[in-house]
Amino acid sequence: MTALSASFEIALEGGGGNGKCFCDLGLADSVLSRWRKEYHERGEAAFLPQPCEQASTQDQRIVELERFCGQLALENQVLKKALQSMGSRSATS
Q: For the whole model, what pTM was predicted?
A: 0.40
- pLDDT tens sequence for the chain (93 residues): 454 466 566 666 665 555 565 666 677 778 878 888 888 888 878 777 776 666 788 889 999 999 999 999 999 999 999 999 888 877 766
Could you write out the three-class secondary structure of 13-58?
Answer: CCCHHHHHHHHHCCCCHHHHHHHHHHHHHHHHHHHCCCCHHHHHHH
Residue-level pLDDT at 4: 47
Residue-level pLDDT at 24: 67
Residue-level pLDDT at 70: 93
Would the CA dihedral through 58, 64, 67, 72 be positive or negative?
negative
